[in-house]
Structure 1
Amino acid sequence: MSVKTWFITGASKGFGREWAEAALERGDRVAVSSRTPGAFDELVKTHGDAVLPIQLDVTDRAAVDVAVRHAVDHFGQLDVVVNNAGYGLFGMVEEVSERQARDQLDVNLLGPLWVVHAALPHLRAQGSGHIVQVSSIAGVFSLPGLGIYHASKFGLEGFTASLAAEVKDFGIKVTLVEPAGYATDWAGPSAVQADRLAAYDDFRAGMRRPAGARGEPGATRAALLELVDTDEPPLRIFFGKGPLDVIKAEYAARISEWERWDAVSQAAFGV
């Protein structure tokens, strides 16, 4: 198998760090990015020139362009682009401030868009490449208390599905990875909490919390490598136990509701 060159955002911890280490350990080359200075010192110490550390805020479009071009100039090509940078925003829709909402969409939705914009000219020129968008089970169904986070992931899913069709003829593959609950700090230090309104206290107290064990981020290494190595990767793939059953029930409920209201829907057409 030939050596692959990767560009991974949000690679200082969590999934991004796991996947960077997995790629490097098998002999690939990786441009790793994070907002945190010095986040990759240990990786460079261990893997030397196979690592290109980049300090990057994905909300800065000009900086994204520079970072991607730097990776291409340094390694000569890009084979796998992983949009992993992101964080959770917790709060009822009414509780989320304008700044919090804009910041969430800037990182989780527009950040991946800017990376895609920067990478596509290079991928088109070489006639190959694989863009991996890290979405979530939260990109295909919704729970209360995460509305704007859901909006960012639903948006990512939407433009990525269009993107996959648009770039297929250029030899570029696109995949949405949709993880379930994992033991990352997504709901911990990386998360943002909206100020709570007392009006939602009773509702919040009665909210059901997701049950079950949280997955091990390191267990996704082999799955991600298999995904980028296959000739025909899926557009969407869940990582973790449980999402498929949840989504089967979710989509069955949607179809049932649409069917119940179909007569009204058709009457609304007018002809």
Structure 2
Amino acid sequence: MIMTTWFITGASDGIGRQVTERLLARGDRVAATARRPHRLDDLAAAFPGLLWTAALDVSDPAAIRTVVDRAFAELTTIDVIFSNAGRAAFGAAEELTDATVADQIAVNMTGPIHLVRAVLPHLRAQGGGRIIQNSSMGAQISSPGGSLYHAAKWGLEGFLESVIGEVAPFGIGVTMVEPGTVRTGFGAAMTIAPGLDAYAGTPVGQIRRSIEGSGGNLTGAAPGDPARVAAAIIDAASATPAPRRLVLGSDAYQAVHTALTTRLTELRAGEHLAATTDFPS
């Protein structure tokens, strides 16, 4: 097997950690970034010479450019960019604070956008590469209380849909990964907005009580196996052509299928009306 080099954000936890561990175990190099890179010290000791680390908060565009430029300068070639960092927030739209709104957009949408913009000149210069964005089934569906998380994921995928066509001539492939619920610590790190009494009897209130009743263990019974999710992501990096989307998990497949089918039915119902707004033939 030919050794590849990956650049990973959010590498210290969850799916990012699983992908990092698997790559190192098979002899690949990993440029692993995280807000707390010391949490990767055990891997650096276990795999000397294969792990490059740096502190990175993806909500800081200047830091993204600096770390990306340094990684390419020191490692020369990076084959795969795995944009994985992210976090969730829960609350009705009017319950969310301004700070939470800004954080969700910065971490889940504009941060990954800035990462893609930072790596593209390097990937073009080296003659190609692969960008894998860890998105979510939440980029295709929505649920009450997740408005900003969904907004960021939907927006990010819209950006990538356009970028796919822009960079294909340079040998750069892009894949959006849409996992369902996976047994990681992702849910435990969720920001939960203070509730308004007006929403107590609504779907938002019902979901809030479910979250509070879980004691922070939101993904303990999730069907998704993080090790298998990581393996599927790694395999996708060598698939030709690059899969546009990778839906992972039976729950994700069912939810996305239902959402797309419903939207198509609604679209077809409006076909006649759409035609009535054209100039007369």
TM-score (norm 1): 0.94
SS of the residue 1:237 aligns to: strand
Q: Which residue pairs with 1:252 in the alignment?
A: 261
Q: How does 1:199-238 map to 2 (within 5 A)?
A: 199-203=198-202, 204-206=204-206, 213-238=222-247
Instruction: Report the CA distance between 1:265 and its aligned residue.
Output: 2.9
Instruction: Report the CA distance between 1:206 and its aligned residue.
Output: 4.5
Instruction: Report the CA distance between 1:270 and its aligned residue.
Output: 5.0
Q: Which residue pairs with 1:150 in the alignment?
A: 150
Instruction: Report the CA distance between 1:84 and its aligned residue.
Output: 0.3
Q: Which residue pairs with 1:116 in the alignment?
A: 116
Question: Could you tell me how far apart the structure 1 residues matched to 2:175 and 2:120 are?
Answer: 15
Q: Number of residue pairs matched?
A: 270
Structure 2 residue identity aligned to 1:195: P
Aligned-CA RMSD value? 1.9
Deviations, residues 122-181 of structure 1 (Å, cap 9, x unaligned): 100011100000100000111111011000100111101111111001000100000000
Question: Could you tell me how far apart the structure 1 residues matched to 2:277 and 2:207 are?
Answer: 36
Deviations, residues 8-32 of structure 1 (Å, cap 9, x unaligned): 0000100000001111111110010
Instruction: Report the CA distance between 1:205 and its aligned residue.
Output: 4.5
Instruction: Report the CA distance between 1:232 and its aligned residue.
Output: 1.6
Q: Does the CA contact (< 8 Å) of 2:37 and 2:53 recur in 1?
A: no
Q: How does 1:38-49 map to 2 (within 5 A)?
A: 38-49=38-49
Q: Which residue pairs with 2:195 in the alignment?
A: 196
Deviations, residues 29-59 of structure 1 (Å, cap 9, x unaligned): 0010111141211111011111011011111
Q: Which residue pairs with 1:162 in the alignment?
A: 162
Q: Which residue pairs with 2:100 in the alignment?
A: 100
Deviations, residues 199-249 of structure 1 (Å, cap 9, x unaligned): 110013555979974312112232122111222221101111132222222
Q: Which residue pairs with 1:12 in the alignment?
A: 12
What's the % identity of the aligned pairs? 37
Q: Does the CA contact (< 8 Å) of 2:130 and 2:174 recur in 1?
A: yes
Q: Does the CA contact (< 8 Å) of 2:86 and 2:108 recur in 1?
A: yes
Call closer, same or farther: CA 1:100–1:269 in 2, change over 3 Å.
farther
Question: Could you tell me how far apart the structure 2 residues matched to 1:70 and 1:267 are?
Answer: 56
Structure 2 residue identity aligned to 1:85: A
Q: Does the CA contact (< 8 Å) of 2:104 and 2:149 recur in 1?
A: yes
Structure 1 residue identity aligned to 2:198: A
Q: Does the CA contact (< 8 Å) of 2:8 and 2:83 recur in 1?
A: yes
SS of the residue 1:42 aligns to: helix
Question: Could you tell me how far apart the structure 1 residues matched to 2:86 and 2:278 are?
Answer: 40
Instruction: Report the CA distance between 1:262 and its aligned residue.
Output: 2.9
Q: Which residue pairs with 1:242 in the alignment?
A: 251
Question: Could you tell me how far apart the structure 1 residues matched to 2:235 and 2:262 are?
Answer: 33
Q: Structure 1 unaligned runs (5+)?
A: none
The question of 1:137 aligning with 2:146 is answered: no
Question: Could you tell me how far apart the structure 2 residues matched to 1:76 and 1:259 are?
Answer: 51
Of 160-169 and 247-256, deviating more is: 247-256
Structure 2 residue identity aligned to 1:229: S
TM-score (norm 2): 0.91
Q: Structure 2 unaligned runs (5+)?
A: 211-217
SS of the residue 2:113 aligns to: helix
Question: Could you tell me how far apart the structure 2 residues matched to 1:20 and 1:123 are?
Answer: 21
